[in-house]
Amino acid sequence: MLWCAVAGFPHNWLYSRGIELGILAQSLLAGRGLSSPFGGFTGPTALLTPVYPALIALFFRVFGCFTLAAAIAIMGMQLLFNVLTVLLMMLIATHCFGVRTANVAGTFWALSPPLIWMPTIFWETCLSTLLLVGMVALALHCAQRPGAGLWALMGAYSGLAALINPSLLLSLLALLAWTAWQTRRAFRYLLLALVVLSVVFAPWPIRNARVLHAFIPLRSTVGFELWVGNRAGASGFLEESQFPIFNRWEYDQYAAKGEVAYMRDKSALATAYIQAHPAAFLRLSGVRFVRFWTGTGNKKSSAFYAIHALITTSLGLAGIRRLVGEGRLRLAVLFLLPLTVFPLPYYITHAEFRYRLVIDPLLTLLAAYAISGAHESAG
């Protein structure tokens, strides 16, 4: 896969999407902190949380900014994240479903065509996927052997994961709640985890308040993403042409107003549009729901994406049905919580296939369980 990407595409191909991530990494190396995500010198930003840009900055420091060597190293790192995800998947499957299901799940996820290309996504997708699977593994372990130290670890883990990708936060909190449901002294343990999570995560909103003079708990782009997906002419797809990195008029507005005012204005426009056109909002949200679960959220989606998504979605639901039918309701809830909570922001903004990849390992585990059940029935 890495060889195909290096030999078959231009040397700067990896950076053609997600360029803001590279610009922020370059800004960190220059000593300007997280700033000017769309180029120029537009000032501090909360466009992305700090951990992944800092990680890319380390690669840029060693291999050079936007170089082929850095691209190869970054793809290698993301390939390692995928390998670790497979290992965690097999551990979870072995614990919950048995060795046969573990082998099916690990093999399917490792060899699926859309997932082979995951390391070429210049974003935190591979790491986010690993982090969510890791949290499921931690929840299972903590439910079996609860203790203050493990609960504190889950809180710290959740705080760090949220600093990498805030979109994971709702799923992480849901998994903490599930773990509390399984354990005695649940309230005390859950409170400990939430305190540790808050301590780990707190420097980010505090920094935003000091530097940007605004309350930005997660990322500054929430209102902007909502506007991109809900405005006159919105199609339900991600419209990259509206982003300041690609749109000169939007860039000029962003630079003139400053990030906080620009994003606040976009949020107001989105809110006004939704209030004025509730039927259009509901229709677009329904379209995005379907696209998320069918793998058709990209304008030029590959048929492989749709085939893969339909297989894992349908078989994943079959796996849930098998768990419920066997009376394993607690395990069914464990998987259903992130599958239900994680996609919510994408139903109201845009539903690119790469977002769905984050929960794909969980669907694959359930799909493998459904397949193993069908095999046992046939036997």
Residue 2 has pLDDT above 70, yes or no: no
Mean of pLDDT values over 299-305: 82
pLDDT of residue 1: 54
pLDDT digits 0-9 by tens, 259-272: 999 999 999 999 99
pLDDT of residue 367: 95
Task: Quote the mean pLDDT of the chain.
Answer: 91
pLDDT band, very low/low/confident/very high, at 379 (cuts 50, 70, 90): very low
Q: Which amino acid is at 87?
A: L
Which residues share a beta bridge with 35?
A: 44
Neighbours of 279 (CB within 10 A): 7
pLDDT of residue 265: 96
Total-model pTM: 0.94
Residue 317, CB-side half-sphere exposure with 13 Å CA sphere: 7
Residue 255, CB-side half-sphere exposure with 13 Å CA sphere: 15
Residue 9 has pLDDT above 60, yes or no: no
Residue 12 has pLDDT above 70, yes or no: no
pLDDT band, very low/low/confident/very high, at 18 (cuts 50, 70, 90): confident
pLDDT digits 0-9 by tens, 133-180: 999 999 999 998 888 999 999 999 999 999 999 999 999 999 999 999
Residue 377 has pLDDT above 80, yes or no: no
pLDDT band, very low/low/confident/very high, at 13 (cuts 50, 70, 90): low
Tokens of 255: 């630079």
Residue 281 has pLDDT above 60, yes or no: yes
pLDDT band, very low/low/confident/very high, at 4 (cuts 50, 70, 90): low
Residue 120 has pLDDT above 80, yes or no: yes
Residue 115 has pLDDT above 90, yes or no: no
3-state secondary structure string across the chain: CHHHHHHHCCCCHHHHCCHHHHHHHHHHHCCCCCECCCCCCCCECCCCCCHHHHHHHHHHHHHCCCCHHHHHHHHHHHHHHHHHHHHHHHHHHHHHCCHHHHHHHHHHHHHCHHHHCHHHCCCCHHHHHHHHHHHHHHHHHHHHCCCHHHHHHHHHHHHHHHHHCHHHHHHHHHHHHHHHHHCCCHHHHHHHHHHHHHHHHCHHHHHHHHHHCCCCCCCCCHHHHHHHHCCCCCCCCCCHHHCCCCCHHHHHHHHHHCHHHHHHHHHHHHHHHHHHCHHHHHHHHHHHHHHHHHCCCCCCCCHHHHHHHHHHHHHHHHHHHHHHHCCCHHHHHHHHHHHHHCCHHHHCCCCCHHHHHHHHHHHHHHHHHHHHHHHHHHC
